[in-house]
A = this chain, B = another copy of it.
């Protein structure tokens, strides 16, 4: 990350990305502003994908859905342009990665519907503020992610297992971690499971399905599991839509919302 963009606003960060002055992952960029996962789908799949999000709010917390063809995040990032304000995009065709792009200007279509979904950066910030160390944040690596045996509630062509993130939490901070993340339902919210990974179909915590493996900092640390934004992307891809566009992992869309504005109380 380019440190010059740590303390800027969400709008300033978007402009730097649009102008090509910032092009890396966005972790740590515009600290305190809400970052979002991006999913763009053709209009004829949008209703059932929104239904899927409504039925699975923990893995698919909706921050904003655009009108068909709309390019500006009117509610959460006025004057933004979704075609230029993410530094790297992934284009999937029939469920397979087709290309990575720096912008969507040449391929934008008035038939596209854009979804901004909450990401865990916001609640990780809250965990850290509550004295919980997160080694993957400190070292700028990836959290551990696992495919569980918990099925999402299907909608139309969208179905599949819940993907979760795992964080080791000190035993005396487990209750605080539940409370802290419960305040943020629009960025995955309360954990889905605490403790024994086998209960939710995870065999080996040292062998994550995505991201990096982490060992506990202390012997009595407890594994806690939260719904993960990889779920809707995995589910959408397995539906093999003719076209789907997402952000490239780690290259999020930055809104004008402050993290604390997402807290329900």
Residues of A within 8 A of B (CB): 46-47, 50-51, 54-55, 62, 65, 67, 75, 153, 155-156, 179, 182, 185, 189-190, 264-265
Contact = CB atoms under 8 A, between A and B. Distances in A.
Contacts of A67: 51, 155-156
Given A50-B54, A55-B65, A185-B185, 16 more contacts: A46-B47, A47-B47, A47-B50, A50-B50, A51-B65, A54-B54, A54-B62, A54-B65, A55-B75, A67-B155, A67-B156, A75-B153, A182-B264, A185-B264, A190-B265, A264-B264
A47 B65 CA distance: 11
Contact of A265 (B46, B55, B155, B182): B182
Chain A binding surface, main DSSP class: mixed
A55 B186 CA distance: 13
Nearest to A155: B67
Nearest to A178: B265
Contacts of A179: 265
Contacts of A75: 55, 153
Contacts of A62: 54
A157 to B, nearest CB: 11
Contacts of A46: 47
Contacts of A54: 50, 54, 62, 65
